[in-house]
Structure 1
Amino acid sequence: MRVMKWSMIALAVSAGTSQFAMASSQEESKGFIEDQSLTAKTRLEYMNRDQRNGGGNIALPGGGFKNGYREDTGISELLIYKSGFTQGTIGVGVDAFAGGTARLDGGEGRQGNNLFASDDDGKPEHTQSKAGAAVKFRLSDTVLKYGTQQTESPVFATDDSRLLPEFATGTLITSKEIKGLELTAGHFTAMSGQQNMGHDSINGAHTKGLTSADIAGATYQFTDNFVAGVAASDVDDYFKKQYVNLNYTLPINDSQALNFDFNGYKSKSQGQELAGDVDNRIWSLAAAYSLGAHKFTLAHQRSSGDTGYVYGVDGGGTIFLANSIQYSDFNFADERSWQARYDLNMKTYGVPGLSFMTRYVKGDNISTDTGEGKEHEWDIETKYVLQSGPAKDLSFRVRQAFYRASSNVTGDVNDFRIIVEYPLSIL
């Protein structure tokens, strides 16, 4: 599931912002060096998953599992360099990254949280690293980038929920020539996973990995309050997907607003059907009421078709749905799920940077070979970001999920995480 979803309204706002200026982005370029940036992001993550029943880490020869408790601690450093564009009609630039991780705690008997890959002896690696780069070209307000990069398309999104993010290799074109409109198109041939550092190491249940993926999308900001987007993908020998998003905000006054967010996918397997015979339609509708420091959200999500919604080989973040939360995505075949959520921003009460969230999601009507399945999850989360001083932007985040499901769905899990992150701007 996706820890932080990039909403279509956020994408559309970024698409429209530069369009209010008379000059194009390339005309305003200051130069390759003048517009460059270098950031270093340090992340410390502790994670444990207690498989309450029906699951474990190491299978025993006679059946069952040796251990159902997974616990890891690690630290990562990710350097990201972004050059500016050279001046002229067509600007040229380079983006590059280098990242490494170190295991601080967690052994063979407790692995399984996807923080580290395993060595030839089945033990988690002590250190891992990855690096990559992409060349970019800009004409007016259209950018072509070729190489290794992170992606945010709802049909092809790299995940960043562990120590280092996924990175995709390919070509992406992003155009913002028309005010309020963002167009994207891309072709990708490899995906580096979060756990496995290799150039083409995304697999999980998809042992062959990414073959190739073609994507396209459009987002348009019709008014200040209404945004719509569509996208489609063709992942060779896996599946084809279509996606739609509608996002509308109704301001009530300076401290109150209503937001409605609809997301929907249609998926169908193709070719060798490496992800199985996929046939799914899934949608979610969320309504959020903001009142000063408080936000109350209700959401409904519904899946139909012969299978559940499948993703992963096209990026671990490719699930822009309301009920994709900390542990479960509530995306099984025929599943119906409901969510109630509460957010609190403590800035109003004199503690800027401190926030709190809790939510409960319940799903039922899951189609299984042994009858209807059910699941539910309760999440609690708090985060604090330092607002000033030498450690400005240092954040502390605590996440707890309690997941329970009927035996014909999966096992019960308690998922606990502590994430400390420090982004530092060097250039």
Structure 2
Amino acid sequence: MLNKRISLIALGMLSATQAMANDQAESKGFVEDSSLKVLLRNAYINRDYKDGNKDKSEWGQAAIGTFSSGFTQGTVGVGVDAFGLYALNLERSEDRSGAQGIDFFKKGDSGKPANDLSKGGAAVKFRLSNTTLTYGDQMPALPVLNYDNSRLLPESYTGTMITSKEIKGLQLDAGRFTAESRKSAEGRDSGGLKSINVLGGSYQFTEQFKAALYASDVEDVLKKQYVNANYVFPIDKDQSLTLDFNGYRTKLDNSYVRENGVTGDDNKIWSLAATFATGPHSFTVAHQRSTGDSNLGYAYGGYQKGQGRVGDGGNTIYLANSYWSDFNAEDERSWQLGYGLDFGAFGVPGLSYNFAYVRGDNITTSTSEGGTEREIFNQFKYVVQSGPAKDLSVKVRSSILRVSQKSSEYNVSGNELRVFVDYPINIF
């Protein structure tokens, strides 16, 4: 039934074609448009927990290879995408590994993290006009299914995705995935996903205004809807004001509520951010609010196998106040003051700095109401601009998170440090 629905959606996409460039007609060929890239990543995360909780940290070196072919010429083009991943554990500490929020190397039955891990995947793709159908192992990046690439290795999913750009400014997506590869473990379905269906799109109404609507259905877990509106007010040639609204509505499945001892099944969460940019400076004010009766607050990410969580991607949280804490507890309200600086204007191109202070309150847990948390976030990032190491980036970020005793059931206080060195290499 779902495959039929996706096929009908694809036909609808093609029938809406307006006069514009035909990507498939401009194809140069399977080999001519192909690329092979390798990303070398050295990543370290340390969490100095408070209130008697044991500190956690993991450190690893990864190589992430991705191949993307072009499409064969003709009315329907055929191509292949593939990836190969390898990670070496540089810390190998049984005591310090195993934090759910770090998750570089999953612990085995012995309680020890893996010394290394490797895996790969491939997908076949077909293109007709400006519509592409991909089947196989993929890394989808949608507001309701966004793979996590913010740790040592990325997650991946196995299934079918249709993406259409037949109308200028409009992107439509529809897909079904039936397996998830955990970022910290080998195996195509190490995440234990049953299935997830996704549908939606985004449209650039004007040069200043863009909006998006998406929905997902994670089998036996939840249904989710997402809305976004983004408007940029040009003020001067180097000044602008951007308003960005993001919202999710989540409805948990009755069986998931029963089996996991969850209280309530409904959550609505939204954020509105205003960013004023002037020259190399940006100033952000944001508000985020979570409502509903689910004690999970806004539920996303994690793995169904071993964790009993959602399985819709570790970056499926397009909200303003998501740093170390996501400020997504039941009934939570949070405010952010942020600042960004591009040092290129001061003679250091490639260097940037970001700061944010976020405070949340009104947190509800099973034992209390009115809990609070606050986070101070700092990040420096430098990207090499030229020479043999061009595009190599070094990112250092830290968070100071303090959670009130009333909120200890929801979150934990601590100091976090992340150091990532990424070196992308274009083979061809």
Match of 1:418 in 2: 419
The question of 1:239 aligning with 2:228 is answered: no
Identity %: 53
Aligned length: 390
Tell me by how many angstroms 1:198 deviates: 2.0
Alignment of 1:174-189 (within 5 A): 174-189=163-178
1:28 is matched with which residue? Answer: 26
Q: How far, CA to CA, are the matches of 1:396 and 1:319 in structure 2?
A: 24
Name structure 1 gaps, 5 residues minimum: 1-18, 56-67, 203-208
Aligned-residue CA RMSD in angstroms? 1.4
Counterpart for residue 209 of structure 2: 226
Alpha-carbon shift at residue 110 of structure 1 (Å)? 1.0
Is residue 54–residue 411 contact of structure 1 (8 Å, CA) maintained in 2? no
User: Of the candidates 94, 99, 105, which is equivalent to residue 91 of structure 2?
Assistant: 105
Q: Deviations over 1:148-169 (max 9, x none)?
A: 1101110111111111100011
Residues 1:121 and 2:110 are matched in the alignment: yes
Q: Is the 8 A contact 1:267 1:281 kept in 2?
A: yes
Matches of 1:340 and 1:147, distance apart in 2: 42
Q: CA deviation at 1:86?
A: 0.2
Asked whether the equivalents of residues 158 and 179 of structure 2 are also in contact (C-alpha less than 8 Å), the reply is yes
Tell me, in whole angstroms, the C-alpha distance in 2 between the residues paired with 1:213 and 1:363.
Answer: 31
* Alignment correspondent of 2:130: 141
Any conservation in 2 of the 1:278–1:310 contact (CA below 8 Å)? no
The AA in structure 1 aligned to 2:422 is: E
Structure 2: any 5+ residue segments left out of the alignment? 1-16, 302-310
The one-letter amino acid of 1:247's match is: N
Contact 1:250 1:259 in 2 (8 A): yes
The whole-number CA distance in structure 2 between the counterparts of 1:45 and 1:278 is 36
Q: Return the alpha-carbon distance in structure 2 between the equivalents of residues 71 and 281 of structure 1.
A: 33
Give the one of 329, 334, 355 matched to 1:332: 329
Report the Cα offset of residue 54 of structure 1.
4.7
Specify the alignment match of 1:303 in structure 2. 290
Q: 1:188 offset after TM fit, Å?
A: 0.6
Counterpart for residue 146 of structure 2:
157
Which residue of the partner structure matches residue 376 of structure 1? 374
Contact 1:71 1:106 in 2 (8 A): no
The alpha carbon displacement at 1:405 in A equals 0.4
Query: Which protein has greater RCO, CA pairs closer than 8 Å, 6+ apart?
Result: 1
Structure 1 CA distance for aligned equivalents of residues 254 and 333 of structure 2: 29
Q: How does 1:277-426 map to 2 (within 5 A)?
A: 277-307=264-294, 308-312=297-301, 313-325=311-323, 327-368=324-365, 369-409=367-407, 410-426=411-427
Q: Could you tell me which residue of structure 2 aligns to residue 85 of structure 1?
A: 71
State the partner residue of 2:46: 48
- Report if the CA contact (8 A) 1:279-1:305 is conserved: yes
Aligned equivalent of 1:8 = none
Give the AA of the match of 1:158.
Answer: Y
Offset of residue 362 of structure 1: 0.3
Alignment check: 8 A CA contact 2:160 2:177 kept = yes
Q: Tell me, in whole angstroms, the C-alpha distance in 1 between the residues paired with 2:204 and 2:20.
A: 18
CA deviation after TM superposition for structure 1 residue 271, in Å: 4.9
Matched, 1:248 2:236: no
Residue 105 of structure 1 deviates from its aligned partner by 1.6
Counterpart of 2:5?
none
Measure, in 2, the Cα distance between the counterparts of 1:149 and 1:103.
Answer: 25
TM (normalized to structure 1)? 0.89
Deviation of the 1:278 alpha carbon: 2.8
Post-superposition offset of 1:21 = 8.8
- Please say if residues 20 and 168 of structure 2, whose CA atoms lie closer than 8 Å, have aligned partners that are also in contact: no
Residues of 2 paired with 1:303 and 1:371: CA distance? 14
Answer yes or no: is the 8 Å Cα contact 1:54–1:412 preserved in 2. no
Moved more, 399-408 or 329-338: 399-408
Distance 1:167 1:54 in 2: 35
How is 1:255-294 mapped onto 2 (pairs within 5 angstroms)? Answer: 255-273=238-256, 276=262, 277-294=264-281
> Offset of 1:230 from its aligned partner?
0.2
Q: Deviations over 1:377-409 (max 9, x none)?
A: 101100100000011001111010000101232
Contact 2:92 2:114 in 1 (8 A): no
Quote the Cα distance in structure 2 between the aligned partners of 1:46 and 1:24: 44
CA contact (8 A) 1:181 1:220 kept: yes
Task: Report the Cα offset of residue 22 of structure 1.
Answer: 4.2
Counterpart of 1:201 in structure 2 is 190
Shift in CA distance, 20/358, structure 1 to aligned 2, threshold 3 Å: farther
Find the aligned partners of 1:168 and 1:189 in 2 and give their Cα distance.
Answer: 8
Q: Distance in 2 between matches of 1:21 and 1:407?
A: 60
How far the C-alpha of 1:119 sits from its partner, in A, is: 2.6
Conserved 8 A contact 1:97-1:131:
yes
Q: Deviations over 1:276-306 (max 9, x none)?
A: 4431000000000000000000000000001
Deviation sequence 1:80-110 (CA, Å, 0-9, x none): 0000000000000000000100011241011
